[in-house]
Chain A
Amino acid sequence: MTSLTLVRRFAARPSIVFDALTTPQGISVWWGPDAGPVLLAETDVRIGGRFRVRFRALDGIEHETSGEYLEVVKPDRLAMSWRWADGEDPGESLVEIDLRAFAGGTEMTLIHSRLHDEDTRRSHEEGWSGSLDRLQHHFLSNLERGERR
């Protein structure tokens, strides 16, 4: 299994960051890879509740993400499954967000990981964590070098 881990600090208290993460009002401001508009944001923030967010990227292409809230511990932790409606990345992934009060603000740790079948579960047990991030840079530079050749 591989995962992406991001750590960010915000000058806002955890409860405000948590609301920004979970309310349709907050989500419609920030959700998406670029400044394209959020077209629809629905959340039912409780364990087993679902979210659905549709957005249009700046290239004009619309995408829809949805999933289920798996852990809701306001304002400390949020975990949700994640799926793309268009199937461009098939299967389900897992998003885990931890919020920690930090120097009058919040430190967020976000982990987005692939999640499914036997292979990934086994890899998880074998203790895979984050090494691919290092490998990524290693291979990226080499692939790019290879392409230039």
Chain B
Amino acid sequence: MVNYDLQLNRTFAALVDPTRRAILARLERGDAPSVSELARPFSIKLPAVMKHLDVLGDAGLITRSKMGRTVTVRLSPQPMRAALDWLRRYERFWSGSLDRLAVYAERKEAEARKQRR
């Protein structure tokens, strides 16, 4: 449970950065690009990209594998799924709750107006 929580925090922290989100979006194509292919569209230097990949790797969002001299990067969807589960859970809770709260509060409002007359 504690590990799960820590993992979720890492996932969210990793997702804060727009470059890291752009890297993840690129990886969604699913073709396992090399690090230099991945770095090409960004205006930052390769070492900076490597640092972002470290953060994403620590958060479990990507996996890297070495083939000869080339490191390829793949998306690892599990932590993202946990983060989305968190959001879904509260979205479901509050959507349902606020639907019923609306009915209740609007009935109370109608009662208050009737009393004033």
In the complex, the 5 A-B pairs of residues with the closest C-beta atoms, listed nearest first? A12-B109, A30-B100, A12-B105, A119-B13, A30-B101
Known contacts A30-B101, A90-B2; is-contact A146 B95 (Cβ 8 Å): no
**Contact of A26 (CB < 8 Å), options: B9, B16, B104:** B104
Write out the residue numbers on chain A whose beta carbons fall within 8 Å of the beta carbon of B104.
20, 26, 29-30
- List the interface of chain B (C-beta within 8 A of A): 1-2, 4-6, 8-10, 12-13, 15-18, 21, 25, 28, 77, 80-81, 83-84, 86-87, 89-106, 108-109, 112
Complex Cα distance, B4 from A19, in Å, reads 36
Describe B's contact surface by its main secondary structure. Answer: helix
Write out the residue numbers on chain A whose beta carbons fall within 8 Å of the beta carbon of B112.
13, 16
Write out the residue numbers on chain B whose beta carbons fall within 8 Å of the beta carbon of A89.
86, 89
Write out the residue numbers on chain A whose beta carbons fall within 8 Å of the beta carbon of B25.
138
Known contacts A21-B101, A90-B5; is-contact A2 B12 (Cβ 8 Å): yes
Complex Cα distance, B6 from A140, in Å, reads 22
CB atoms of B9 and A114 under 8 A apart: yes
CB atoms of B13 and A143 under 8 A apart: no
A43: interface (CB < 8 Å): no
Q: How far is the CB of B1 from chain A (nearest CB, A)?
A: 5
CB atoms of A2 and B106 under 8 A apart: no
- List the interface of chain A (C-beta within 8 A of B): 1-2, 4, 6, 8, 10-13, 16-17, 19-21, 26, 29-35, 87, 89-91, 93, 105-106, 108, 110, 112, 114, 116-117, 119-120, 122-123, 126, 128, 131-133, 135-136, 138-140, 142-143, 146
CB atoms of A126 and B16 under 8 A apart: yes
Q: Chain A CB within 10 Å — which of B21, B102, B112 has the most?
A: B102
Q: Which residue of chain B lies nearest to A122 when distances are taken between CB atoms in the complex?
A: B13
Q: Which residue of chain A lies nearest to B9 when distances are taken between CB atoms in the complex?
A: A119
Complex Cα distance, B95 from A142, in Å, reads 24
Known contacts A4-B91, A90-B5, A119-B10; is-contact A31 B97 (Cβ 8 Å): yes
Complex Cα distance, B25 from A131, in Å, reads 13
Complex Cα distance, B77 from A16, in Å, reads 44
CB atoms of A114 and B102 under 8 A apart: no
Write out the residue numbers on chain A whose beta carbons fall within 8 Å of the beta carbon of B1.
87, 90
Q: Chain B CB within 10 Å — which of A2, A31, A114, A123 has the most?
A: A2
Q: How far is the CB of B23 from chain A (nearest CB, A)?
A: 12
Complex Cα distance, B95 from A108, in Å, reads 13
Write out the residue numbers on chain A whose beta carbons fall within 8 Å of the beta carbon of B81.
143
Q: How far is the CB of B92 from chain A (nearest CB, A)?
A: 5
